[in-house]
Amino acid sequence: MATHEILNQPPPLTDYNLFSSDRALGEAARREGAGWADVALADFGARLGTAETIDWGFQANHNPPVLRAFDRYGHRQDMVEFHPAWHELMALGVGAGVHAAPWEEPKPGAHVARAAAAFMLVQIESGVQCPITMTYGSVPALRRQPEIAAEWLPRIFSRRYDKQFRPAREKTGALIGMAMTEKQGGSDLRSNSTRAVPDGGGYRLTGHKWFMSAPMCDAFLVLAQAPGGLTCFFMPRWTPDGDLNAIRLQRLKDKLGNKSNASSEIELEGAWAQRIGDEGRGIPTIIEMGNYTRLDCAIGSAGIMRQAAAQAVHHAMHRSAFQRKLADQPLMTNVLADLALEAEAAMVLALRLARAYDRQDDPAETAFRRLVTPAAKYWICKRGPMLAAEAMEVLGGNGYVEESLMPRLYREAPVNSIWEGSGNIMCLDVLRALGRDGGAGEALRAELAAARGADARLDRFAAALESDLASSAGDEGAARRLVERMVLALQAALLVSGSPAPIADAFCASRLAGDWGHAFGTLPAAGGLRAIVDRASPTT
């Protein structure tokens, strides 16, 4: 129509490089030891930022997976059908090695490089994170059982994504899922009731699982009660004889978000499995996988926060109101800077934590990893939903409609706080790490000491935290407050040491010194806020 002239709308945020445009990410990756991966990460960032790849994310969410429990003749087939866009996204992630590269090609900085790639991938579509993350985390557990590792690790290390539903030995690559949670227990894994009965060289599993993540995977790590106690098992989709294993998919969960990914409820009717580790040692075995998946929860939430902040900044830099660009208006500048500040703090901590996973033989880094993994997961994942909501508001009504990416980011944001242990479980794990020996506390002190003297507000906050550590030891009721302060101190130390002065100054003033309100956009007035916004722009 002649009256339908489109004015004052920002251009789509497409055809941009998620790595090259993110100055903070590139700096953090290099600082944490992955500078050698710059070219590969830039190539991956460019591919992810194309209009085609971004559209795959929309298609995969508009066409969620469908359970095909039976074939047309009534035979059980227990398969999940996905839209082609899902497979394209999975092929991108697997092709870039996000599922296994640090194990396939171990080198200094490999886990950091992989974390940076995962951070970018979830910005386009978080639904593919689940199978990729669990495959990544499964490798240390599988190595506990050499015969399983010898057969399966070459398939896992393959960078050829194979979507076919057939025995793994007939495929060019394999992915690993997980089935732990039962309806009566949730996070209380020791209450699991699934039974495992020895059967020749394997076991037969009978019971239910309330959540089996990514049921399209080729095999799963499962907890079940064996004669010797709760044990970890490796359960393939197909038996060694080539028959479909007795894993009955009852239904797919209708979730708030994460729509492109399938989560299922299952019954096991004598499903064949192999033991991993000793009978009765299922929790320690599965926790090894859980540490890596918890790391990815922090990375995933940081990625969602980055994309939400980037969308908000991009919109505000192109949209005008009252004769000025939104980004040039002081109150909006404050909001955008606050969002950018939170997103960068989350990312730098996630990549610093990934560096600890690169240093498996360093006792201090092991202690740091044991303490900070649950702490980072707790705080970063808690901040994600609030940031996504505020970023959506920047776009106004345009951000509230499904054609925008913002509703999907908002729905995705809560899952990482729930997945792999809720906030309370994370805080209790932090208390356990602090109480186990002195190594965890010393690792925290050493990290903070490296930034001592750089900012007086951080020094005062760290001194008060030391008092908190002494007074709150073992106090479960105070655990959330203690963990929050730990993470804020760590984020401040990293920003003071590695980020531009406006970033560090605004973070210390607001998060540590209390010159901040109860909502985003309440940073203290300072001359550096626009510099923070410009740094966060995905297109400048």
Q: Do 166 and 264 reside in the same domain of the chain? A: yes
Both tokens of 494, joined, read 């990293």
Residues comprising the chain, all counted: 540
Helices (H), 359-455: 363-394, 397-400, 406-412, 415-418, 423-436, 439-449
Distance CA(129)–CA(118), nearest Å, equals 8
Q: Which residue has the higher pLDDT, 437 or 14?
A: 14
Asked whether the whole model's pTM tops 0.95, one would answer yes
Which of 220, 246, 280 delimits the end of a domain? 280
Mean pLDDT across 40-49: 98
For tokens 């979507």, name the residue: 163
Is 502 inside any structural domain? yes
> What CATH number is attached to the domain comprising 444?
1.20.140.10
Same domain, 83 and 212: yes
Domain ranges, residue 313: 284-536
Summarised one tens digit per residue, pLDDT across range 503-521 is: 999 999 999 999 999 999 9
Q: How far apart are CA 327 and CA 312, in angstroms?
A: 10
Mean pLDDT of the chain: 95
Q: Is the pLDDT of residue 2 over 90?
A: no
Task: State whether 113 and 195 are in the same domain.
Answer: yes
Q: How many other C-beta atoms can be found within 10 angstroms of the C-beta atom of residue 4?
A: 5
Q: Which of 152-156, 280-284, 365-369, 526-530 has the lowest mean pLDDT?
A: 526-530
Residue 73 backbone dihedrals phi, psi, to 5 degrees: -100, 0
Which of 226, 261, 280 corresponds to the end of one domain?
Answer: 280
pLDDT in tens, 489-504: 999 999 999 999 999 9
Report the alpha-carbon distance of residue 259 to residue 43 in Å, rounded.
Answer: 27
Average pLDDT over residues 389-400: 97
Name residues whose C-beta falls within 8 Å of residue 470's C-beta, 6 or more positions apart in sequence.
none
Are residue 106 and residue 220 in the same domain, yes or no?
A: yes
Q: What is the mean pLDDT of residues 375-393?
A: 98
8 in a structural domain: no
| Inter-residue contact 426 to 374 (CB < 8 Å) | yes
Query: Do 303 and 386 touch, CB atoms closer than 8 A?
Result: no
Do 106 and 164 sit in the same domain of this protein? Answer: yes
Residue 1 has pLDDT above 70, yes or no: no
pLDDT computed for residue 526 by the predictor = 75
Give yes or no for residue 10 having a pLDDT over 70: yes
- How far, in whole angstroms, is CA 178 from its chain's centroid? 16
Per-residue pLDDT averaged across 79-91, rounded?
97
Alpha helices (H) in 319-362, listed in sequence order: 330-358
Residues 163, 77 share a domain: yes
- 374 lies in a domain? yes
Number of neighbouring beta carbons within 10 Å of residue 38: 16
Cα separations (Å) of 157 from 149, 152, 288, 470? 11, 9, 19, 45
Confidence at residue 472, expressed as pLDDT on a 0 to 100 scale: 76
Burial 490-500 (b: 16+ CB within 10 A, else e): bbbbbbbbbbb
* Residue 393 falls inside a structural domain: yes
> Which residue, chain included where needed, has tokens 């901590």?
349
Q: What are 22's two structure tokens? A: 């993110």
- Per-residue pLDDT averaged across 313-317, rounded? 98
Over residues 450-468, the mean pLDDT reads: 97
Return the closest-CA partner of residue 347 out of 313, 384, 317.
384
Report percent pLDDT > 90 for the chain.
90
Nearest to 427 by CA among 162, 187, 176: 187
Once rounded to an integer, what is the mean pLDDT over residues 92-112? 97
pLDDT score recorded for residue 117: 98
Q: Is the pLDDT of residue 93 over 80?
A: yes
> Is 316 part of any domain?
yes
- Nearest Cα neighbor of 404 from 392, 388, 412 is 392
C-alpha to C-alpha distance for 282 and 149, rounded to whole angstroms: 17
Q: Does residue 437 surpass a pLDDT of 90?
A: no
Q: How many domains does the chain have?
A: 2
Tell me what the mean pLDDT of segment 389-418 comes to: 96
**Same domain, yes or no, for 188 and 204?**
yes
Query: Helices 84-95 and 51-62: crossing angle, nearest 10°?
Result: 130
Beta-bridge mates of residue 221: 178, 234
pLDDT score of 162 = 98
Same domain? 261 vs 356? no
- Report yes or no on 239 lying in a domain: yes
**Is residue 258 domain-shared with residue 376, that is, in the same domain?**
no
Residue 176 has pLDDT above 90, yes or no: yes
pLDDT of residue 185: 60
- Return phi, psi of residue 329, to 5°: -90, 125
Q: Is 534 helix (H, G, I), strand (E, B) or coil?
A: helix
Domain end call among 280, 298, 313: 280
Do residues 327 and 442 share a domain? Answer: yes
User: Is there a single domain that holds both residue 229 and residue 144?
Assistant: yes
CATH number at residue 46: 2.40.110.20
Percent helix / strand / coil, the chain, rounded to 5: 55, 15, 30
**Are 289 and 228 part of one and the same domain?**
no
Q: Which are the contacts of 72, defined by CB distance < 8 A and separation ≥ 6?
A: none
Q: What percent of the chain has pLDDT over 70?
A: 99
Q: What is the pLDDT of residues 187-199, one digit of tens each?
A: 777 778 899 999 9
Do residues 114 and 122 make contact, with C-beta atoms less than 8 angstroms apart?
Answer: no
Cβ atoms of residues 504 and 461 within 8 Å: no
CA distance linking residue 210 with residue 388, whole number of Å:
29
pLDDT at 189: 72
What pLDDT, on the 0 to 100 scale, is given for residue 523? 96
Maximum distance among all Cα pairs of the chain, rounded to whole angstroms? 78
Q: What per-residue confidence (pLDDT) applies to 426?
A: 96
pLDDT band for 234, please (50, 70, 90 cuts): very high
Confidence at 3, pLDDT banded by 50, 70, 90:
confident
**pLDDT higher than 90, residue 474:** no
Q: What is the DSSP letter of 510?
A: I
Q: Is residue 4 part of a domain?
A: no
In a domain, 522, yes or no: yes
Q: Sorting pLDDT into bands at 50, 70 and 90, what band is 536?
A: very high
pLDDT of residue 131: 97
